[in-house]
């Protein structure tokens, strides 16, 4: 096996930050997919990844030269309750690679066996979640949303016991970082201020180098993380994405989408949309995502208190001031994003109240009229390009309500149809299509997975030969709940 030029900075941190582990061996791995363009970005040889030696690495059967496999320690609030000890229980960080673009990225195997953080879990992953994460994370990347990426998916040839037995898989995740809000919480909860400081220094050096120049680097770091999260959540909402499990251990500090368990895309517009089968109270509904992100960031601010100032009062003031920045940053991104989706000029946002009420009115109409969120903006783009509004109006229960809304939109000024085409996707990973790909994979038929992955790689382009992928689920196909499948 050739050496891969891993450069493992996290493994140089003190012992308490991680545990050294070895991936488990699996009986008869087979390759489902390697992401060629991403491999190239990382400086990896796609052809080699597809050889038996490459497959051995991607399945956990062999550790390449230069890798130093570790499981990272972290804590986290899950559905509001704090667990002081979570950590990588079914994920193993192989190492870091610096790509041709100079960006350092983690390469991690998900489902490669137990670690000291597995608690009662088996450290394995069923194939379903592997297929889901591959499809949805790559779709997010193609939609231009910051996200962890999919380098590869393999089937392990063994069975994983869940509610039912399922074929097992290993997913290779690539991320700018696997550090989470929960990583800071881990040290804060133990009162390990020196480790907390070391973690903050590491994150600043690797991800927020500008913060080092600041008078108060910890505050600048907090501001930076808050800003990236605000931007991320706004982008999620603009494509109807519902993360589903926005726990602080799933809130990554670079602002990439991480953990595609019970996530899904909203079809009929409803701000209360949830998918996770374990989210009974709608804590993580589409419309609640900004307030939950703010809550998660408040937990981060709390964890950082010892670094924000020497005395507690000043530290609290710093934390509060930083958190106050969230709603301004989020609202600006949110309104500006919808401005683009409506094709309106930047001047739209000069009256923020007016802009917000324009957006909210549209949401109200969509909710009352049971309009598919993605198709609405897709057909609105066509109307802006000169098409007849027939298909757009057909989305409304009562087309005259659509007509009325459309008059307001026409009156709002000239439209930038080119800009609309870059922000209003035609193809999103609709839940029933993801489910179809998963069901195929479970039978050993990867054709639906391959087809969907290819369609989703070009979400903004017309693909008339794949027009059926534009459509929401028919009555019998609706997937109302998704499960993490852990």
Residues assigned a catalytic role: 249
Using alpha carbons, list the distances in angstroms from residue 35 to 46, 116, 174, 251, 316. Answer: 8, 30, 11, 25, 45
CB 135 within 8 A of CB 434: yes
* Cβ closest to ligand AMP, residue 236 vs residue 260: 260
Residues 223-252 that bind ligand AMP (CB under 6 A): 245, 249-250
CB of 441 vs ligand AMP, minimal distance in Å:
19
Residue 277 interface partner, choices ligand AMP, Mg ion, none, CB cut-off 5-8 Å depending on type? none
* Cβ closest to ligand AMP, residue 74 vs residue 236: 74
Buried residues in 50-77 as b, exposed as e (16+ CB within 10 A): beeebbbbbbbbbbbeebbbbbbbbbbb
Residue 259 zone, left/alpha/beta (φ > 0; ψ -120 to 50; rest)? left
Q: Can you tell me the distance from the alpha carbon of 148 to that of 353, in angstroms, rounded to the nearest whole number?
A: 34
Residues 447-486 that bind ligand AMP (CB under 6 A): 484, 486
Task: State the residue for tokens 């739209």.
Answer: 348
CB of 252 vs ligand AMP, minimal distance in Å:
11
Of the candidate residues 108, 250, 257, 381, the single one contacting Mg ion (CB under 5 A): 250
Residue 182 interface partner, choices Mg ion, ligand AMP, none, CB cut-off 5-8 Å depending on type? none
CB 109 within 8 A of CB 57: no
CB of 275 vs ligand AMP, minimal distance in Å:
14
* Cβ closest to ligand AMP, residue 85 vs residue 331: 85
Q: Nearest-CB residue to ligand AMP?
A: 121
Q: Nearest-CB residue to Mg ion?
A: 259
Residue 118 interface partner, choices Mg ion, ligand AMP, none, CB cut-off 5-8 Å depending on type? ligand AMP
CB 160 within 8 A of CB 122: yes
To the nearest 10°, the Cα dihedral for 81, 87, 88, 93? 140
Q: Is 424 in the site for Mg ion (CB under 5 A)?
A: no
DSSP 164: S
Residue 339 interface partner, choices ligand AMP, Mg ion, none, CB cut-off 5-8 Å depending on type? none
* Cβ closest to ligand AMP, residue 86 vs residue 222: 86
Residue 88 interface partner, choices Mg ion, ligand AMP, none, CB cut-off 5-8 Å depending on type? ligand AMP
Residue 279 interface partner, choices ligand AMP, Mg ion, none, CB cut-off 5-8 Å depending on type? none
CB of 259 vs Mg ion, minimal distance in Å:
4
Buried residues in 4-23 as b, exposed as e (16+ CB within 10 A): bebebebbebeeebbbebeb
What are 269's two structure tokens?
């517009």
Site mask for ligand AMP (CB under 6 A), range 393-432, x = bound: ----------------------------------------
CB of 400 vs ligand AMP, minimal distance in Å:
46
* Cβ closest to ligand AMP, residue 357 vs residue 486: 486
Residues 88-107 that bind ligand AMP (CB under 6 A): 88-90
CB of 121 vs ligand AMP, minimal distance in Å:
2
Nearest residue to 110 (alpha-carbon basis) of 75, 136, 71, 65: 71
CB 66 within 8 A of CB 5: yes
* Cβ closest to ligand AMP, residue 124 vs residue 178: 124
Which is it for the CA torsion 314, 317, 319, 325, positive or negative? Answer: negative
Q: Can you tell me the distance from the alpha carbon of 228 to that of 338, in angstroms, rounded to the nearest whole number?
A: 18
Q: Which range, of 5-13, 87-95, 264-272, 313-321, touches ligand AMP by CB under 6 A?
A: 87-95
DSSP 259: -
Question: Which residue stretches of 82-158 are H helix?
Answer: 127-142
CB of 376 vs Mg ion, minimal distance in Å:
32
# residues near ligand AMP by CB under 6 A: 18
Of the candidate residues 259, 279, 372, 453, the single one contacting Mg ion (CB under 5 A): 259
358-367: list long-range contacts, CB under 8 Å, 24+ apart: 358/408, 358/412, 359/334, 359/335, 361/405, 361/408, 362/338, 362/405, 363/269, 363/271, 365/396, 365/401, 365/402, 365/405, 366/269, 367/269, 367/270, 367/271
Q: Is 374 in the site for Mg ion (CB under 5 A)?
A: no
Q: Dmax over Cα atoms in the chain, in whole Å?
A: 66
Residues 340-369 that bind Mg ion (CB under 5 A): none
CB 167 within 8 A of CB 237: no
Residue 89 interface partner, choices Mg ion, ligand AMP, none, CB cut-off 5-8 Å depending on type? ligand AMP
CB of 261 vs ligand AMP, minimal distance in Å:
5
What are 231's two structure tokens?
């931007």
Q: Is 121 in the site for ligand AMP (CB under 6 A)?
A: yes
Residue 486 interface partner, choices ligand AMP, Mg ion, none, CB cut-off 5-8 Å depending on type? ligand AMP
Please report, as ranges, the residues that interact with Mg ion according to CB under 5 A.
Answer: 250, 259
Please report, as ranges, the residues that interact with ligand AMP according to CB under 6 A.
Answer: 86-90, 117-118, 121-124, 245, 249-250, 259, 261, 484, 486
């Amino acid at each position: 096996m050739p050496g891969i030029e891993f450069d493992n900075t996290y493994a140089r941190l003190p012992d308490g930050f991680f545990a050294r582990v070895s991936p488990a061996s699996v009986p008869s791995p087979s390759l489902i997919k390697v992401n060629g363009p991403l491999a190239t970005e990382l400086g990896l040889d796609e052809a080699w990844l597809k050889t038996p030696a490459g497959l051995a690495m991607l399945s956990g059967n062999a550790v390449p030269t230069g890798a130093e496999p570790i499981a990272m320690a972290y804590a986290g609030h899950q559905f509001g309750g704090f667990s002081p000890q979570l950590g990588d229980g079914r994920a193993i960080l192989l190492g870091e690679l610096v790509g041709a673009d100079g960006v350092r990225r983690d390469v991690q195997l998900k489902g490669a066996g137990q670690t000291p953080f597995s608690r009662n879990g088996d450290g394995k992953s069923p194939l379903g979640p592997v297929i889901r994460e591959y499809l949805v994370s790559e779709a997010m990347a193609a939609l231009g949303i910051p996200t962890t990426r999919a380098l590869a998916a393999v089937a392990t040839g063994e069975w994983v016991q869940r509610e039912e037995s399922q074929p097992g898989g290993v997913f290779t995740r690539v991320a700018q970082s696997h550090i989470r809000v929960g990583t800071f919480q881990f040290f804060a909860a133990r009162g390990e201020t020196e480790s907390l400081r070391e973690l903050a220094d590491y994150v600043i050096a690797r991800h927020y180098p500008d913060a080092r120049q600041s008078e108060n680097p910890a505050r600048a770091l907090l501001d930076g993380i808050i800003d990236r999260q605000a931007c991320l959540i706004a982008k999620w909402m603009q494509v109807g994405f519902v993360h589903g499990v926005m726990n602080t251990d799933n809130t990554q500090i670079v602002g990439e989408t991480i953990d595609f368990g019970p996530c899904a895309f909203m079809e009929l517009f409803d701000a209360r949309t949830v998918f996770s089968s374990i989210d009974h109270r709608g804590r993580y509904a589409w419309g609640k995502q900004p307030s939950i992100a703010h809550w998660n960031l408040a937990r981060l601010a709390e964890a950082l208190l010892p670094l924000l100032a020497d005395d507690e009062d000043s530290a609290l003031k710093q934390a509060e001031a930083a958190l106050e920045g969230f709603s301004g940053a989020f609202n600006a991104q949110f309104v500006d994003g919808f401005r683009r989706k409506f094709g309106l000029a930047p001047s739209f946002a000069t009256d923020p109240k007016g802009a917000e009420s324009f957006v909210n009115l549209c949401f109200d109409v969509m909710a009352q009229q049971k309009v598919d969120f993605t198709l609405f903006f897709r057909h609105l783009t066509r109307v802006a390009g000169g098409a007849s509004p027939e298909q757009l109006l057909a989305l409304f229960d009562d087309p005259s309500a659509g007509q009325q809304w459309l008059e307001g939109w026409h009156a709002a000024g000239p439209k930038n149809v080119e800009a609309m085409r870059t922000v209003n996707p035609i193809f999103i990973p609709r839940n029933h299509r993801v489910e179809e790909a998963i069901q195929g994979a479970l039978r050993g038929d990867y054709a639906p997975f391959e087809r969907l992955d290819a369609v989703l790689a070009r979400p903004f382009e017309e693909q008339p030969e794949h027009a059926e992928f534009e459509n929401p689920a028919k009555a019998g196909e609706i997937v109302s709940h998704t499960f993490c499948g852990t």
